[in-house]
Amino acid sequence: MDSVGNIIVYVVAALAIIGCSILAVTTKKILRSATYLLFALLATAVIYFQMDYEFLGAVQIAVYAGGIVVLFVFAIMLTHKPGKDAEPLTSHKRWMGVGAACAGVIVCAGALFSYGKFCCAKLLPGGNFDIKELGTALLDTDKFGYLLPFEAISILLLACIIGGVVIARRR
Amino acid sequence: MYLIPSLIMFGCGVYGFITRKNMIAILISLELMLNSVDINFVVFNRFLYPDQMDGMFFALFAIAIAAAETAVAIAIIINIYRVAKKVDISEITKLKF
């Protein structure tokens, strides 16, 4: 966080995240909403790259941008007529949503800024793990190993594949 | 300072989750919330314990679970659409057709 280029990249990514998130939940057309979600996720990947987590950024792009958003677009194309607007919101529901979101954001922002040291912390060196270290930790069984969640999540993914096929199958 | 966009992203997710009526839009808001939590995991790992990688693995597993959850939810939505011909949650009031 010291060079000018880093700060510019951070500002662009943060503005992209903020703007695309707001647009994704307020736009009328559902396909545009999915596109803004895609840009918010890509800006998140930029932040991961900036924090030297290259593998995580690549996973974010591959899984989110390549998998989830494409799934969203398929589902939107299957279930919507193109070019149809969303129904206008009732005002009481909108104010309820704005109230809930603002309450949460204000509480968290108060907690964040009261601990103000964290807001301008320097990025320490480190964090640049190579892929061999990652793989070893992922299939390790000692204290910092992640073999059990790895296997659990593989079974979860298998169950999701089978469940998705069974649920969406044409009877 | 990375937490500020994450916080606003989570707020947007909460707003969309409450106000949207379309099921796919609700799912998009849910993705925003999950993604902001991932950013928080990674930021706290990177700034507090830069030589460990626990937060990164948490974010990795959260991404995988989000993908699985989205796939199943979209399968359910498509199935509901095939039966009921609508995706509006205020009109889908029956669990059994």
Residue B33 pLDDT: 92
Average pLDDT, integer, range A127-149: 79
CA distance A124 to chain B (A): 7
Average pLDDT, integer, range A78-97: 71
Q: Which residue has better confidence, A67 or A138?
A: A67
Residue A112 pLDDT: 80
pLDDT above 90 as % of chain B: 13
Same-domain status, A52 and A120: yes
Contact B43, A52 (CB under 8 A): no
- pTM reported for the whole predicted model: 0.86
Same-domain status, A100 and A133: no
Same-domain status, A44 and A14: yes
Is B78's CB within 8 Å of A94's CB? no
- Chain A residue with CA closest to B1: the answer is A119
Residue A89 has pLDDT above 90, yes or no: no
Same-domain status, A36 and A71: yes
Lowest pLDDT segment from A52-56, A80-84, B39-43: A80-84
Same-domain status, A118 and A140: no
Only one residue has tokens 């379309």, namely B22
Residue A156, Cα to own-chain centre: how many angstroms?
A: 20
Containing domain of residue B54, as a range? 3-84
Buried b / exposed e along A3-22 (16+ C-beta atoms within 10 A): eeeeeeebeebbebbbbbbb
Only one residue has tokens 């199943």, namely B72
Residue A128 has pLDDT above 70, yes or no: no
pLDDT confidence band for A91 (50 / 70 / 90): low
Same-domain status, A149 and A166: yes
pLDDT confidence band for A86 (50 / 70 / 90): low
Is A40's CB within 8 Å of B22's CB? no
Query: Which stretches of chain A are DSSP H helices?
Result: 4-26, 30-50, 54-59, 69-79, 91-114, 131-138, 147-168
- Count how many domains chain A has: 2
Same-domain status, A137 and A107: no
Average pLDDT, integer, range B15-29: 87
CA dihedral sign of residues B52, B58, B60, B61: positive
Same-domain status, A79 and A25: yes
Average pLDDT, integer, range A85-96: 70
Residue A119 has pLDDT above 60, yes or no: no
Residue A109 pLDDT: 84
Contact B53, B45 (CB under 8 A): yes
Lowest pLDDT segment from A55-59, A84-88, A97-101, A164-168: A84-88
CATH number at residue B63: 1.10.287.3510
**What residues of chain A, 9 to 48, have a C-beta less than 8 Å from chain B?**
10, 13-14, 17-18, 21-22, 24-25, 30, 33-34, 37, 40-41, 44, 47-48
Contact A125, B47 (CB under 8 A): no
Same-domain status, A101 and A133: no
Same-domain status, A17 and A100: yes
Average pLDDT, integer, range A105-128: 73
Containing domain of residue A30, as a range? 4-83+90-128
pLDDT per residue as tens digits for the range B69-94: 998 888 888 888 888 777 777 777 77
- Looking at mean pLDDT, say which of A77-91, A105-119, B66-80 comes out highest: B66-80
Q: Residue B43: how many CA atoms within 13 Å on its side-chain side?
A: 21
CA distance A4 to chain B (A): 16
Q: How far apart are CA A34 and CA A77, in angstroms?
A: 11
Q: Which residue has better confidence, A155 or A136?
A: A155
Residue B36 pLDDT: 92
Within-domain flag for B92: no
Is A105's CB within 8 Å of B66's CB? no
Residue A122 has pLDDT above 70, yes or no: no
Q: How far apart are CA A102 and CA A108, in angstroms?
A: 10
Contact A129, A57 (CB under 8 A): no
The complex scores an ipTM of: 0.89
Residue A87 pLDDT: 63
The pair of three-digit structure tokens given for residue A72, joined into one six-digit string:
């969203």
